[in-house]
Structure formats: structure tokens, C-alpha cells
Amino acid sequence: MQLRVRALETVLAEKGYIDPAALDAIIEAYETKVGPHTGACVVAKAWSDPAFKRALIADASKAVASFGLLNRVGDHLIAVENTPKLHNMIVCTLCSCYPWEVLGLPPVWYKSAPYRSRAVNDPRGVLADFGVKLPADTQIRVWDSTAETRFIVLPMRPPGAEGWSEEKLATLVTRDCMIGTGLPKDPKNAKEAA
């Protein structure tokens, strides 16, 4: 594949369509700048600041844009909140739609046939693959990303992190808990690592 892609790049650069230096910059941005740390900051702020949380649920694109610390996000970001009675999960059954701006590029499993096929009819089975078990009466809400709207799950703040700073709270927020296939880290276990 390496040679084939290099041949393609050479043709397209010689034709004057692309600049290899721009490709380097794109790869660097997605390897180092864009990633789930951005989403984790958003979640930690929502856990700490009730006004921000309300703004995030009302219009996530606008709320995140007002944040200041982050890259601007596009117009169509929607934050969906987990509660003791409701667990949200995000999928794209048709391709691989994913909130790049807040979570980076999707992991391989998110784009794989097992996840895309089962998330909509067996989300509890999928959660079991991730080692997550929810009470039987928790409603499971699956969001199929079939248009340009993008979703991020706002997980529940775990108990045991009272008084933590936003920065420290962000260390509890995993990528998977913002997709809905995981839960935030337990503060008891995270303390030593942080």
C-alpha cells in the first residue's frame, strides 16, 4: 500500500492539485492536536459549571465555541446527556460519521461491521463487549448519525470527585464514555494515576 499511495500522491502533486507539505500538516494535526482531550475538557466543564451545561445541551456548537480554549466546532454538534434512567450511545450504521472536532478520528472498532450492525439492535450486547453492564430498566437510546449532525455523550459525573478542578475531572473522561460505549473512570482508581 505504501508504494501505491506514494504513486497516487506523486501523480496528484505533479498535476498541481495537492501540496505534499499540506498533507504533512493534516497528518500532524490529526495525530497531535485534534483528539478526545478536547471533548474531555467540554465534559469536565459541563460537570463543573451548570450554566455551561445548560448551554451545551441547548446548543453544543455555540457553547463549545464560547469556550475559548478549543478549536471552533462546526454548526451541527449536539450533546446528549446520560442520567440514572437514560444511557446514550452514538453510531453511524451507514459509514463512519463521528464528531471529529471534539473526539478526533474514530477508532477502528467504531467503523467496523460488528459495531455498526449491532449498536442499533443489541446495544446491551455491545456494552458487554466493552465490559459495561447497565441496570435492566435503564433506557438505552441509540443515535444513528445518518446526517451531518454530530453527537457527543455527556456522561454522568462519577461520585468521589467532589471538589476536583476541571483539569483533574477531565482525566476521568474517556473517549468511549463520550461515544456511550464506556463510563468515566472511577475517581478512586484515577487518583494515583493523575
Q: Which of residues 157-186 bind other proteins (CB under 8 A)?
A: 176, 181
Angle of CA points 160, 53, 89, to nearest 5°: 80
Distance, CA of 47 to CA of 95 (rounded, Å): 31
Residue 141: all three cell numbers together: 437510546
- Residue 45 CB, shortest distance to other proteins, in Å, is 19
Conformation bin of residue 180: beta by default, left when phi > 0, alpha when psi is -120 to 50? left
Interaction of residue 145 with other proteins, rule CB under 8 A: yes
| Residue 89 · residue 151 · CB < 8 Å | no
Binder to other proteins among 52, 98, 115, 164 (CB under 8 A)?
115
Q: Choose the stretch contacting other proteins; rule: CB under 8 A; options: 145-153, 155-163, 164-172, 183-191.
A: 145-153
Binder to other proteins among 30, 54, 58, 160 (CB under 8 A)?
30
| Residue 181 · residue 126 · CB < 8 Å | yes
Q: Which residues contact 123 (CB under 8 A, 6 or more apart)?
A: 89, 140, 142
Residues marked active site are found at 92, 95-97
- Residue 193 CB, shortest distance to other proteins, in Å, is 14
- Residue 164 CB, shortest distance to other proteins, in Å, is 25
Binder to other proteins among 101, 153, 154, 190 (CB under 8 A)?
101
Nearer to other proteins, 71 or 165 (CB): 71
